[in-house]
Amino acid sequence: MARKNQTLGEFIIENQSEFQYSSGELSRLINSIRLAAKMVNHEVNKAGLVDITGSAGEINTQGEDQQKLDVLANDTFIRTLTNREIVCGIASEENDDFITIEGHKENHSNKYVVLMDPLDGSSNIDVNVSVGTIFSIYRRVTPVGTPVQLEDFLQPGSSQVAAGYIVYGTSTMLVYTTGHGVNGFTLNPALGTYYLSHPNMKFSEDGNIYSVNEGNYTHFPQGVKDYIKYCQQDEGDRPYTSRYIGSLVSDIHRNMIKGGIYMYPKSAKAPNGKLRLLYECNPMAFIAEQAGGTASDGHTRIMDLKPTELHQRVPFFCGSKNMVAKVEEFIQKHDK
């Protein structure tokens, strides 16, 4: 039974039997992510005091300008996961290809792969706005004892064994699920310990917040435009409140607590959408569903999509069930 103010370590040990494979590996993996997150949090909190903000002068595989903290967070998570000999492979939004990890004791003996966005919303660092880390964990599908292959990473979201995010904000929180609900843990910086602060997190079925970059409105499909107008109408419990931070972790976190929908549709500028299926959409969809919400590409459940490439992009609508159903209704009406 989860107890408020229980430490993350205690929670993991007490709930290990809920894991599909309770060998202890997944518990150690979550603990490694916890450690890496504390290290990244320490660096994020130094932004403005030392030279870690701004561009790193490199372009990542997405064609996006890498920030210095992108590189630092990516290196920190990869190093921590590799050194603890827990995973057999890692895929990151910041790397062109997946990384094969060879264990020192018995090569390729580990069973899990991790996919991650090491620092979501990093362009907000310079202006002191919340950023985050997103992670997704799968059991490999290729034989243990062999090097990981692409198919170990190209699994549908429904095959995830765990997923979560860390939000680095006014307080630092680690929120995760292993398929048995969603729990949030807040870091006490004085002790370096995460405590259960948000047990059994839930999306309300309805909400009154919509989160979308309305600066791209003219490029959106007509169905999305109509839904935004619907949100703005003065009728019933509307107009809804518009809230958009520009950091996926922060926007989803707020909407899960307050009730709302996050939208990043396809557009004339991004015909396949902008968010990455493996690093952002699948883990957030798993969390949303475990919290009583839902996630869709406008037509199909996100976690039913079969990935075809590591850096695949998809439209993304995530949040309170009835709000996602309503935007799907508008989209599908115009797509007939």
| Average of per-residue pLDDT across 15-23 | 66
Residues 250-304 pLDDT 10s? 999 999 999 999 999 999 999 999 999 999 999 999 999 999 999 999 999 999 9
Q: Would you list which residues are annotated within the binding site for substrate?
A: 120-123, 213, 244, 274
The helix or strand, by DSSP H or E, that contains position 335, with its residue range, turns out to be helix 321-335
Rg for the chain, CA atoms, rounded: 19
Q: Is 164 exposed, middle or buried (0-12, 13-18, 19+ CB in 10 A)?
A: buried
* Chain position carrying tokens 């991650």: 116
Q: Would you list which residues are annotated within the binding site?
A: 93, 117, 119-123, 213, 244, 274, 280
Cβ neighbors of 207 (< 8 A, separation 6 or more) are 240, 255, 258, 259, 260, 261, 319, 320, 323
What CATH number has the domain spanning 8-198?
A: 3.30.540.10
Residues 155-185 pLDDT 10s? 999 999 999 999 998 899 999 999 999 999 9
Q: Is 270 exposed, middle or buried (0-12, 13-18, 19+ CB in 10 A)?
A: middle
DSSP label of 132: E
Phi, psi dihedral angles at 146 (to 5 degrees): -115, 160
What CATH number has the domain spanning 209-335?
A: 3.40.190.80
Q: What is the pLDDT of residue 66?
A: 63
Q: Where are the domains of the chain?
A: 8-198, 209-335
DSSP label of 55: E
Q: Would you list which residues are annotated within the binding site for Mg(2+)?
A: 93, 117, 119-120, 280
Residues 47-79 pLDDT 10s? 654 444 445 445 555 555 566 788 889 999 999
Residues 91-141 pLDDT 10s? 999 999 999 987 545 556 788 999 999 999 877 777 778 899 999 999 999
Confidence band for 1, pLDDT divided at 50, 70 and 90: low
